[in-house]
Protein backbone atom coordinates (compact mmCIF):
# COMPACT_ATOMS: atom_id res chain seq x y z
CA UNK A 1 0.00 0.00 0.00
CA UNK A 2 1.34 3.40 -0.93
CA UNK A 3 1.86 5.93 1.87
CA UNK A 4 -0.54 8.26 0.01
CA UNK A 5 -3.38 6.00 1.18
CA UNK A 6 -2.92 7.30 4.71
CA UNK A 7 -2.51 10.88 3.55
CA UNK A 8 -6.15 11.84 3.06
CA UNK A 9 -6.17 15.62 2.58
CA UNK A 10 -7.19 17.35 5.82
CA UNK A 11 -9.23 20.03 4.03
CA UNK A 12 -11.70 17.46 2.70
CA UNK A 13 -14.67 15.68 4.28
CA UNK A 14 -15.29 11.96 3.83
CA UNK A 15 -18.07 9.36 3.90
CA UNK A 16 -17.96 5.83 5.24
CA UNK A 17 -18.62 4.68 1.64
CA UNK A 18 -15.30 6.26 0.51
CA UNK A 19 -16.42 9.47 -1.19
CA UNK A 20 -14.66 12.77 -0.49
CA UNK A 21 -16.07 16.27 -0.63
CA UNK A 22 -14.23 19.59 -1.04
CA UNK A 23 -16.24 22.53 0.33
CA UNK A 24 -15.60 25.70 -1.69
CA UNK A 25 -17.21 27.92 0.96
CA UNK A 26 -19.75 29.38 -1.51
CA UNK A 27 -22.45 26.73 -1.25
CA UNK A 28 -20.77 24.47 -3.81
CA UNK A 29 -18.70 21.32 -3.34
CA UNK A 30 -16.62 18.98 -5.48
CA UNK A 31 -17.03 15.22 -5.01
CA UNK A 32 -14.77 12.28 -5.81
CA UNK A 33 -13.74 8.89 -4.49
CA UNK A 34 -10.91 8.34 -2.07
CA UNK A 35 -7.52 6.80 -2.68
CA UNK A 36 -8.73 3.78 -0.68
CA UNK A 37 -11.76 3.34 -2.98
CA UNK A 38 -9.85 3.59 -6.26
CA UNK A 39 -7.14 1.30 -4.87
CA UNK A 40 -9.72 -1.36 -3.96
CA UNK A 41 -11.39 -1.08 -7.38
CA UNK A 42 -8.26 -1.28 -9.47
CA UNK A 43 -7.72 0.53 -12.76
CA UNK A 44 -10.88 2.28 -13.88
CA UNK A 45 -11.97 1.72 -17.47
CA UNK A 46 -15.31 3.60 -17.46
CA UNK A 47 -17.07 6.28 -15.42
CA UNK A 48 -20.79 7.04 -15.79
CA UNK A 49 -21.49 10.53 -14.43
CA UNK A 50 -24.83 12.11 -13.46
CA UNK A 51 -26.65 14.62 -15.66
CA UNK A 52 -26.03 18.31 -14.93
CA UNK A 53 -29.12 19.70 -13.24
CA UNK A 54 -30.00 16.39 -11.54
CA UNK A 55 -31.19 16.70 -7.95
CA UNK A 56 -29.44 14.24 -5.66
CA UNK A 57 -30.46 13.01 -2.24
CA UNK A 58 -27.81 12.29 0.36
CA UNK A 59 -26.75 8.66 -0.01
CA UNK A 60 -28.24 8.27 -3.49
CA UNK A 61 -26.24 6.25 -6.03
CA UNK A 62 -25.33 8.77 -8.72
CA UNK A 63 -22.12 7.60 -10.42
CA UNK A 64 -20.99 4.20 -11.66
CA UNK A 65 -17.27 3.49 -11.77
CA UNK A 66 -16.17 0.40 -13.64
CA UNK A 67 -12.79 -1.24 -13.32
CA UNK A 68 -11.22 -4.36 -14.72
CA UNK A 69 -12.38 -6.05 -11.48
CA UNK A 70 -15.95 -4.79 -10.94
CA UNK A 71 -18.52 -2.02 -11.29
CA UNK A 72 -19.36 0.00 -8.22
CA UNK A 73 -21.78 2.79 -7.31
CA UNK A 74 -20.67 6.13 -5.93
CA UNK A 75 -23.09 7.85 -3.56
CA UNK A 76 -23.93 11.52 -3.12
CA UNK A 77 -22.34 12.60 0.19
CA UNK A 78 -24.88 15.44 0.57
CA UNK A 79 -28.15 16.59 -0.97
CA UNK A 80 -27.92 19.03 -3.86
CA UNK A 81 -28.05 19.85 -7.56
CA UNK A 82 -25.35 18.68 -9.97
CA UNK A 83 -23.65 21.81 -11.37
CA UNK A 84 -20.86 20.19 -13.40
CA UNK A 85 -19.31 16.82 -14.18
CA UNK A 86 -15.71 15.95 -14.99
CA UNK A 87 -16.14 15.36 -18.74
CA UNK A 88 -12.42 14.55 -19.11
CA UNK A 89 -13.05 11.20 -17.41
CA UNK A 90 -14.93 10.01 -20.52
CA UNK A 91 -11.62 9.69 -22.38
CA UNK A 92 -9.39 9.18 -19.33
CA UNK A 93 -11.18 7.31 -16.52
CA UNK A 94 -7.79 6.26 -15.12
CA UNK A 95 -7.33 9.87 -13.95
CA UNK A 96 -9.40 8.82 -10.90
CA UNK A 97 -6.66 6.29 -10.10
CA UNK A 98 -3.79 8.64 -10.83
CA UNK A 99 -5.10 11.72 -9.00
CA UNK A 100 -8.21 10.84 -6.95
CA UNK A 101 -8.16 14.09 -4.96
CA UNK A 102 -7.36 16.44 -7.85
CA UNK A 103 -7.94 15.78 -11.57
CA UNK A 104 -9.96 12.66 -10.80
CA UNK A 105 -12.90 14.53 -9.26
CA UNK A 106 -16.33 13.32 -10.39
CA UNK A 107 -18.91 16.10 -10.07
CA UNK A 108 -19.75 19.45 -8.46
CA UNK A 109 -22.87 20.14 -6.44
CA UNK A 110 -24.83 23.14 -5.22
CA UNK A 111 -25.48 22.04 -1.64
CA UNK A 112 -29.10 22.04 -0.44
CA UNK A 113 -28.31 21.61 3.27
CA UNK A 114 -24.90 22.93 4.44
CA UNK A 115 -25.28 21.14 7.79
CA UNK A 116 -24.86 17.84 5.92
CA UNK A 117 -21.32 18.87 4.95
CA UNK A 118 -20.40 19.45 8.59
CA UNK A 119 -21.79 16.02 9.47
CA UNK A 120 -19.28 14.18 7.26
CA UNK A 121 -16.10 12.57 8.56
CA UNK A 122 -12.89 14.54 8.99
CA UNK A 123 -9.71 13.18 7.39
CA UNK A 124 -8.56 11.95 10.78
CA UNK A 125 -11.85 10.12 11.46
CA UNK A 126 -11.92 8.63 7.96
CA UNK A 127 -8.31 7.46 8.12
CA UNK A 128 -8.86 5.86 11.53
CA UNK A 129 -12.17 4.25 10.50
CA UNK A 130 -13.46 3.32 7.03
CA UNK A 131 -10.28 4.44 5.27
CA UNK A 132 -7.96 2.33 7.44
CA UNK A 133 -5.75 0.13 5.32
The domain spanning residue 101 has which CATH number? Answer: 2.40.50.100
Tell if the pTM clears 0.85, that is, is over it. yes
* Residue 78 counted as domain residue: yes
Do the beta carbons of residue 33 and residue 100 sit within 8 Å? yes
Tally of domains within the chain: 1
Of the chain, the percentage scoring pLDDT greater than 90 comes to 91
Largest CA distance in the chain: 38
**DSSP alpha helices (H): ranges in 22-112?**
35-41, 95-98
For 89, phi then psi, to 5°, come to -70, -20
* Domain ranges, residue 56: 12-114
Q: Which of 37, 58, 32, 35 is nearest to 117 (CA)?
A: 58
Q: Is the per-residue pLDDT at 59 higher than 60? A: yes
For the cut 60, the answer to whether the pLDDT of residue 111 exceeds it is yes
pLDDT class for 123, splitting at 50, 70, 90?
very high
Give the residue-averaged pLDDT of 55-84. Answer: 97
Amino acid sequence: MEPFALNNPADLRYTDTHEWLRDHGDGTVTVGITFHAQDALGELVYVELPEVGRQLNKGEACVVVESTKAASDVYAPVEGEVLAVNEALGNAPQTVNEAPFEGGWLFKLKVANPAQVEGLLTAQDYTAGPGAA
